[in-house]
Structure 1
Amino acid sequence: MKTVILDGVTLNPGDNPWTPIEDLLPVTLYEKTEDEDIIQRSKDAEILLTNKTPLTKETLEQLPNLKYIGVLATGYDVVDIKAAAERDIPVTNTPGYANNAVPEHVFALIFECYRQVSLHSQQVKDGEWGKNGQFCFWSTSQRELGGKTIGIIGFGNTGNNVARIANGFGMNILAYAPRPKPMPSYDNFAYAPLKEVLEKSDIITLHCPLTEETKHIINEETLALMKPDAIIINTARGPLLDEPAVAKALNSGKLGGLAVDVVSEEPIAKDHPFLSTPNTFITPHLAWATVEARTALMQIAADNIQAFLDGTPQNVVNGVTGK
């Protein structure tokens, strides 16, 4: 089956061979595909793999041979899954590959907000510690995690692993999950309605998919429910935040801090409001990108293709299983 990868460079910039997939099928690989090239590159594909290259209804209508779409990520908002389902095309994602990578990055961002290690390291190098004349020196308030409440919005694999780490730090954990989930075994955990999670949490971290229901889940109204010194962590999808509203809250002192690995338009625009808001930390969509996680993602993607070829698709996100 003709297989096309539309944007492979982030998954394999040179250190993560395509061998698991190439062992199954011949592959045509593109490191990156601009919007105007999607149809030309995809028109003969039976299997199409994408990471962030969008596959809209209009695009899918022009791909008559397409039988399978594999998303090289957990989030699948780049594909019109309803349009794919109407043509009986299964769409799969790759859950679970970043069970360590993303939760660890969440806490790297939390520690940056709470301790600002990089700032203090640079100040030492700039001579500020020496000028201070004391055996210790700090220029920002230092906070610890023990006893703080972390609010987790979305409780799939990533949210669950964030909770596991938070438990190790002695935090209280509130989670909002619109669909029933198993209850973790530790005592300092509770599910709660979204309003309660927002009101009681010192740290809010987002781990829900981007859907019509979750777009701008953090907005002017929900921000007003939060503690004024609370911080928001977003390693999921940029549009979960109403970014102008969040920027306004930061500038007015109604939000304590923000740390994001994602924004609505990537790469970030030069005039993005978060580039100038106080107590704001931004990383360039790299939470998922450890070598270990990308290697696992590659294998899951290959396993998904094999399952499709065997007639038993797995990790299907649009209900098309062929059964």
Structure 2
Amino acid sequence: MRSADASRIAFFSSKRYDQEMFEPLAQASKLHIDFKEPRLDQTTAPLAAGAKHVCVFVNDEVNTSVVEQLASLGVEHIALRCAGYNNVDIESCRAAGIRVSHVPTYSPEAVAEHAMALILTLNRKMHKAYNRVKEGNFALQGLLGFTMHGKTIGIIGTGNIGKAFVRIALGFGCKVLCFDPYPDPSIISPNCQYVELSELFAKSDIISLHCPLMPQTQHIINTDSIAQMKPGVMVINTSRGGLIDTAALIKGLKSKHIGFVGLDVYEMESELFFRDRSCEVIQDDLFQRLSTFHNVLITGHQGFFTIEAVTEIANTTLANILNLNQGQPVAARFL
């Protein structure tokens, strides 16, 4: 095993905004960050040579092969700068003696607000109205929406983001149905109740996903679950792309059983998101088909992207690294 520098961080999937946020904090903490634009995978893992810490994001690939390579390079810590860790083989990391940390909470309101922004934009067709007015077209035909007040919103997953979204939905005067294997009694009220998943599917006008991606939730939105939903249902996903079977979603749109779709994540986004591909021919046929629907709105995994959230992510990620260097525990931030 090679020796690794405890002050050095191999920072994968780096963007300019990452550098602007992390670099001043790292310098103040006497940490050295090697910003690397490629995402971490089997081919790029050797770029971590010499670093004790590897910092990764949502679409970096940390499978068994990558973990073994990192361990051989002397890496002792994988620091996720996000909450979800479905892209990391935790058991392989344990076997290799590599610690894994994440950012369990960072402005959950940021993602919850983005979910509501998708709902409002789809419903009131803000994106279409904006383009029309820019062209001098003030006609209202085709812009008809519905009143949110009194609608039923189904929320799958009531962690920090899900609970933030509950508060927003209740503020709009909606009835809220929740599903989570671990109910939180603090959010139960006359207008917010936990129900079985089948009841949530059957009764919700809008369904918003806020659960982690794991084997139990992989393709939780599929052909069978879509068949249980109300005709014209709106489906929103700001969590992880793998929660939705994209082919089933397209079928639901084509049959008009699904009325609206708002996505900030996509099942195969690792090959697309966080890069400028405006001058490329996108090879993903499912994504291309999905983007042709007039009632589908896709954003490029920007739900987390607020000043407050990014600041908290940077502070927590570097605090995890410093605490590991100093041998200090960091409660739930370490997996």
TM-score by length of 2: 0.86
Q: What is the DSSP-based 3-state SS (H/G/I as helix, E as strand, rest coil) of the residue aligned with 1:70?
A: strand
Q: Which has the higher contact order (CA 8 A, sep 6+)?
A: 1
Match of 2:64 in 1: 57
Question: Does 1:280 find its partner at 2:296?
Answer: yes
CA distance in 1, matches of 2:175, 2:95: 44
Match of 2:116 in 1: 107
Query: Does the CA-based 8 Å contact 1:151-1:174 persist in structure 2?
Result: yes
Query: Does the CA-based 8 Å contact 2:221-2:245 persist in structure 1?
Result: yes
1:91-135 residue CA offsets vs partner (Å, 9 max, x unmatched): 111122131211111111000111011212222333332xx5xxx
Match of 1:89 in 2: 98
Q: What is the DSSP-based 3-state SS (H/G/I as helix, E as strand, rest coil) of the residue aligned with 1:256?
A: strand
Task: Classify 1:61/1:17 alpha carbon distance in 2 versus 1 (closer, same or farther; 3 Å).
Answer: closer
Structure 1, unaligned runs of 5 or more: 319-323
Query: Does the CA-based 8 Å contact 2:238-2:263 persist in structure 1?
Result: yes
Query: Does the CA-based 8 Å contact 1:307-1:314 persist in structure 2?
Result: no
Question: Does 1:295 find its partner at 2:311?
Answer: yes
Query: Does the CA-based 8 Å contact 1:8-1:32 persist in structure 2?
Result: yes
Match of 2:277 in 1: none
Task: Classify 1:188/1:290 alpha carbon distance in 2 versus 1 (closer, same or farther; 3 Å).
Answer: same
CA distance in 2, matches of 1:265, 1:143: 32
Instruction: Name which of 244, 248, 256 aligns with 1:241.
Output: 244
Q: What is the DSSP-based 3-state SS (H/G/I as helix, E as strand, rest coil) of the residue aligned with 1:232?
A: strand
Question: Does 1:30 find its partner at 2:35?
Answer: yes
1:145-188 residue CA offsets vs partner (Å, 9 max, x unmatched): 11111111111110000001111111111111112433316431
CA distance in 1, matches of 2:225, 2:240: 17
Question: Does 1:147 find its partner at 2:164?
Answer: no
- Match runs of 1:31-46 below 5 Å: 31-34=36-39, 35=41, 37-46=43-52
Deviates more, 1:104-113 or 1:53-62: 53-62
Match of 1:312 in 2: 329
Residue 327 of structure 2 aligns with an amino acid whose one-letter code is: D
Match of 2:278 in 1: none
Query: Does the CA-based 8 Å contact 1:150-1:172 persist in structure 2?
Result: yes
Instruction: Name which of 19, 22, 26 aligns with 1:21.
Output: 26
CA distance in 1, matches of 2:16, 2:267: 18
CA distance in 2, matches of 1:201, 1:10: 40
Structure 2, unaligned runs of 5 or more: 1-5, 274-281
Query: Does the CA-based 8 Å contact 2:82-2:103 persist in structure 1?
Result: yes
Instruction: Give 4+ residue runs of structure 1 displaced > 4 Å after superposition.
Output: none
Deviates more, 1:231-240 or 1:50-59: 50-59
Deviates more, 1:180-189 or 1:91-100: 180-189
Aligned positions, number: 311
Residue 8 of structure 1 aligns with an amino acid whose one-letter code is: S
Instruction: Name which of 57, 75, 78 aligns with 1:69.
Output: 78
Q: Identity of paired residues, percent?
A: 31
Residue 262 of structure 2 aligns with an amino acid whose one-letter code is: A
Residue 178 of structure 1 aligns with an amino acid whose one-letter code is: P
Q: What is the DSSP-based 3-state SS (H/G/I as helix, E as strand, rest coil) of the residue aligned with 2:312?
A: helix
